[in-house]
């Protein structure tokens, strides 16, 4: 039997967000790959059984980053290629941060949503801005190569 090795998945969006945060928000406290939202009701009963309620963390949504300043919190969704799906994610994640137990001390702090991308989508950008969300292009040299590679593999649709 022939064994086929799977190619390791490269998390381009994670790299994009972490490099952007280091460059643009070095003074802020930044959390990456943050689970957001409340824990399900069933989670409370687990404590009585000696099981961590955070076991349920995997069923929660997650934001690519949460950037914390004293006067505001920035929720970030990063994409190599921006799509309308990212807009839905930032809308939901920005709202859910206000009920995330780990950020209880920030529930009353103003929240901003940001779509970060290497390659944009004008319609999504326009809609996001009209809805009050921020957009920002950040495209290091490696991101261009990664985008071209995804296009070659048919993982990116070209309009």
DSSP-derived secondary structure letter, 5: P
6 vs 130 pLDDT, higher one: 130
Q: What is the mean pLDDT of residues 88-109?
A: 95
- The structure's pTM equals 0.84
Q: How far separated are the first and last CA of the chain, in Å rounded? A: 42
Alpha-carbon span 89 to 84, nearest angstrom: 9
Pairing of the two strands 29-36 and 134-137? unpaired
Q: What is the percentage of the chain residues whose pLDDT exceeds 90?
A: 69
74 three-class SS: strand
Residue 157 has pLDDT above 60, yes or no: no
The angle at the Cα of 139, spanning 145 to 93, to the nearest 5 degrees, equals: 115
Over residues 12-71, the pLDDT tens digits come to 999 999 999 999 999 999 999 999 998 877 777 777 777 776 677 677 899 999 999 999
Average pLDDT over the chain reads 89
**The most confident of 3-7, 76-80, 154-158, by mean pLDDT:** 76-80
Q: What is the pLDDT of residue 149?
A: 84
Partners of residue 32 on adjacent β-strands? 65
Q: Residues 75-89: what's their mean pLDDT?
A: 96
Domains of the chain from N-terminus onward: 12-152 (3.40.1350.10)
The pLDDT, as a whole number, for residue 159 is 47
């Amino acid at each position: 039997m022939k064994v086929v090795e799977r190619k390791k998945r490269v998390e381009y969006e994670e790299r994009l967000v972490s490099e952007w945060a280091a460059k643009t928000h070095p003074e802020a406290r930044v959390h990456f790959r943050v689970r957001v939202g409340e824990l399900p009701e069933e989670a409370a009963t687990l404590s009585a059984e000696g099981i961590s309620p955070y076991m349920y963390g995997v069923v929660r949504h997650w934001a690519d980053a949460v950037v914390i300043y004293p006067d505001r919190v920035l929720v970030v969704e990063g994409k190599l290629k921006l799509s309308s799906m990212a807009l839905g994610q930032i809308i939901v994640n920005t709202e859910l941060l206000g009920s995330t137990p780990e950020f209880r001390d920030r529930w009353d702090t103003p929240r901003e949503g940001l779509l970060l991308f290497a390659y944009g989508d004008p319609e999504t950008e326009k809609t996001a801005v009209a809805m009050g969300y921020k957009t920002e292009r950040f495209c290091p040299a490696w991101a261009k190569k990664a985008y071209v590679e995804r296009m070659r593999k048919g993982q990116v649709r070209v309009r």
